[in-house]
Amino acid sequence: MKLLILSSVFVASAMVFSPAFIPTRLQTDPGRHISQTAESKWQIDPVHSNVKFTVTHMVVSEVEGVFRKFEGVIEQSKPDFSDAQINFTVDVSSIDTDNEKRDGHLKSDDFFSAEKYPQMKFESTSFTPVSDKKYKLVGNLTIRDITKPVTFDVTYNGSVSNGGKSIAGFKATTTINRFDYNLKWDKATEAGALVVDKDVTVSINAEFNKVD
């Protein structure tokens, strides 16, 4: 009789601690844990992205331009991208302000010195959520041979899946002082104001594809 009772207790205990009898909310899923922490890599889609800048000209108007060639990579493991490492490079010679003479001047030593310094580079140090879909992107921007910290205001437009491919969209903006990077041309108007303002607004619309 005692043997029968002990056997029954043993069977009941085995059933209670069997994974099949553990409530769903308490069960662990190793595969799910890995997918949340595994590092993902994203590459920019240049066809659906752009790098633009705007600067005041003669005090009363603005000149806009773009860089046609650029590359960007994001590496992250958290779903909200808060641990993202972002690297971005721009081909200076691809500058386009819709005026060949002006583009040539911008590529000269008065500004970018494109032949000597063919790339601008950005490397992030932090990507911090500040509110719903809003982030502060902090990193080091190198133009010519000068590297300085810069902060971008970023809007995360979300992620979608298209044909089995994951796509994420971002918009980043900042304003830099071009004199900080030795973009030194400073001709003045008759009234004494700069022909080309010192402050340059940079805007990046970026679409990234997840790399499998």
| Per-residue pLDDT at 184 | 85
112-138 confidence digits (pLDDT tens): 999 999 999 999 999 999 998 999 999
User: Does 16 fall in a domain?
Assistant: no
Q: Whats the size of the chain, residue-wise?
A: 212
Strands 146-162 and 40-44: unpaired
Find residue 41's DSSP bridge partners.
75, 211
Mean pLDDT calculated for residue range 151-172: 94
2-32 confidence digits (pLDDT tens): 434 444 434 444 444 344 433 433 333 333 3
**Which is higher by pLDDT, 58 or 3?**
58
pLDDT band, very low/low/confident/very high, at 37 (cuts 50, 70, 90): low
User: Does 82 fall in a domain?
Assistant: yes
**CA–CA distance, 91 with 70 (Å, rounded to integer):** 6
User: Does 25 fall in a domain?
Assistant: no
Percent of the chain past pLDDT 70, that is, above it, reads 75
Q: What residues make up the domain containing 160?
A: 39-211
The full DSSP string for 4-63 is HHHHHHHHHHHHHTSGGGS-GGG---HHHHHHHHS-EEEEE-GGG-EEEEEEEETTTEEE
**CA–CA distance, 154 with 204 (Å, rounded to integer):** 9
**CA–CA distance, 43 with 46 (Å, rounded to integer):** 9
What does R_g of the chain's alpha carbons equal in angstroms? 27
User: Does 22 fall in a domain?
Assistant: no
Q: Which amino acid is at 62?
A: E
Q: How many domains does the chain have?
A: 1
- Quick check: 157 pLDDT over 60? yes
CATH number at residue 155: 2.40.128.110
User: Does 34 fall in a domain?
Assistant: no
Find residue 169's DSSP bridge partners.
158, 207
pLDDT band, very low/low/confident/very high, at 195 (cuts 50, 70, 90): low
Helix ranges (H only) for the chain are 2-16, 30-37, 100-107
Contact 159, 143 (CB under 8 A): no
| Per-residue pLDDT at 198 | 85
User: Does 116 fall in a domain?
Assistant: yes
| Per-residue pLDDT at 16 | 41
| Nearest in space to 49 (alpha carbons), one of 28, 73, 15, 33 | 73
User: Does 5 fall in a domain?
Assistant: no
